[in-house]
Homo-oligomer: A and B are copies of this chain.
Amino acid sequence: MQIEKYRIEEFNHLHSAAHERKFAFAASSVKDPESILQKLIDFQIAIPSWALGTGATRFGRFSGGGEPRSLEEKIEDIGLLHALNRSSGAISLHIPWDIPQDYAAIKALAAQHGLRFDAMNSNTFQDQPGQAGSYKFGSMQHVDKSVRRQAVEHNIDVIKHGMALGSNSLTVWLADGSCFPGQLNFRKAFRNTLESLEEVYAALPENWKMYVEYKAFEPNFYSTTIGDWGQSYLLASKLGPKAYTLVDLGHHLPNANIEQIVALLLMEGKLGGFHFNDSKYADDDLTTGSIKPYQLFLIFNELVEGMDARGMEHATSLGWMIDAAHNVKDPLEDLLQSVEAIMLAYTQALLVNREGLAEAQQENDVVRCQEILQEAFRTDVRPLVAEARLRAGGALAPLGFYRKSRVRDQLVQERGLKTVASGL
Of the listed stretches A90-98, A150-158, A223-231, A314-322, chain B binds: A223-231
Residues of chain A at the chain B interface (Cβ within 8 Å) = 25, 56-60, 62, 125-127, 134-137, 143, 175, 178-188, 190-191, 216-219, 221-223, 227-231, 233-234, 252-257, 259-260, 263-264, 266-268, 279-282, 284-287, 289-294, 298, 301-302, 305-306, 309, 327-330, 333-334, 337, 344, 357-358, 360-364, 366-367, 369-374, 377-380, 382, 399, 424
In contact, A328 and B136 (Cβ under 8 angstroms): yes
In contact, B366 and A264 (Cβ under 8 angstroms): no
Q: 3 tightest A-B contacts by CB?
A: A230-B230, A221-B284, A62-B136
On whether A57 and B58 interact (CB within 8 A), knowing A230-B230, A234-B268, A366-B179, the answer reads yes
6 A–B contact pairs at CB < 8 A?
Answer: A25-B25, A185-B305, A187-B263, A218-B282, A222-B291, A281-B282
Q: Could you list 12 further interchain pairs (A-B, Cβ under 8 angstroms) beyond the known A185-B305, A217-B255, A217-B284? A: A56-B58, A58-B219, A60-B125, A137-B328, A179-B286, A187-B267, A216-B255, A221-B280, A231-B264, A291-B294, A330-B367, A378-B380
Closest to A360 in B: B182
In contact, B218 and A57 (Cβ under 8 angstroms): yes
Per the bound structure, the CA–CA distance linking A228 and B301 in Å amounts to: 22
Closest to A55 in B: B58
Per the bound structure, the CA–CA distance linking A336 and B162 in Å amounts to: 47
Q: Which residues of the partner chain B approach A373 to less than 8 Å between Cβ atoms?
A: 181-182
| A126 touches which of B59, B179, B218 (Cβ 8 Å) | B59
Q: Which of A179, A187, A279, A337 has the largest count of B CB atoms less than 10 A from its CB?
A: A179
In contact, B370 and A219 (Cβ under 8 angstroms): no
In contact, A399 and B367 (Cβ under 8 angstroms): yes
Q: Which residues of the partner chain B approach A254 to less than 8 Å between Cβ atoms?
A: 253-255
Q: Which residues of the partner chain B approach A366 to less than 8 Å between Cβ atoms?
A: 137, 178-180, 182-183, 328-329
On whether A378 and B382 interact (CB within 8 A), knowing A219-B57, A327-B179, A361-B183, the answer reads yes
Per the bound structure, the CA–CA distance linking A330 and B364 in Å amounts to: 12
Closest to A250 in B: B221
Per the bound structure, the CA–CA distance linking A293 and B291 in Å amounts to: 10
